[in-house]
Amino acid sequence: MLLYDSIGPNPQVVRMAAAEKGLTLQRETIDIRAGHNRSGDYIKKVPAGGTPALLLDDGRVISEITVIVDYLEELHPTPAIIGTTPEERAETRKWVRIIDLGYCEPMANGFRATEGRPMFEPRFPVVSVGAGQELKAIAAKKLQWLDGLMAGDFVCGSRFTLADILLFCFVEFGAQVGQPLPGGLTWLPAWRARVAARPSASA
């Protein structure tokens, strides 16, 4: 297998998930700043142009971060980062969807419309700068909501899962692009420190 890698939070999710499982994936870096994900052989393999993508030994390509991690979990179920029972897997996937749609999407689209606008506007439609600021505010509100709801060490209580990996990678990216954690939070800062201390956080 070959992982098409790049900068950004999406590839970091897959790298971190693989590291948690003790997997070493062969990697090829795609220069998204130069637009190499939008041209040549890559766009033929991955029509949406996103990174990362996973090239399988039989030539098929899997894209989308949660799908790639699901695939790795099926190949290597231990240690589990989605779950070992139907109930655990459902809980993890519930939180992954909530975090992805409620936080990651508005945060990323807010970035694309503001600080990231010079890079993204020439390539695909982005919302206005004003709408981008509103998306950032929506993302911050979702973090505040999560902070008031969470109680355990991790999103799924005592289990470290893909939900934590997804949230961590995007929180870290947000901190680098003008969207730090809102003030007044209690659970999220301590959670962030716990996740950052894991060896996989540097993957």
- Beta strand 2-5 with 26-29 is parallel
35-71 residue pLDDT tens: 899 888 999 999 999 999 999 999 999 999 999 999 9
Give the chain's domain count: 2
Instruction: Return the pLDDT at 103.
Output: 98
- Tell whether 163 is covered by a domain: yes
Whether 104 is covered by a domain: the verdict is yes
Exposed (0-12), middle (13-18) or buried (19+): which is 112, by Cβ within 10 Å?
Answer: buried
Ranges in the chain, pLDDT < 50: none
Is 50:108 a contact under the CB 8 Å cutoff?
no
User: Could you tell me the two tokens for 154?
Assistant: 């991790």
Separation in Å, CA 166 to CA 23, 39, 59, 68, 69: 18, 27, 27, 13, 11
For residue 134, the model assigns a pLDDT of 98
Can you give the pTM of this predicted structure?
Answer: 0.96
pLDDT score recorded for residue 39: 87
Residue at which a domain ends, from 50, 75, 100: 75
Domain coverage including residue 27: 2-75
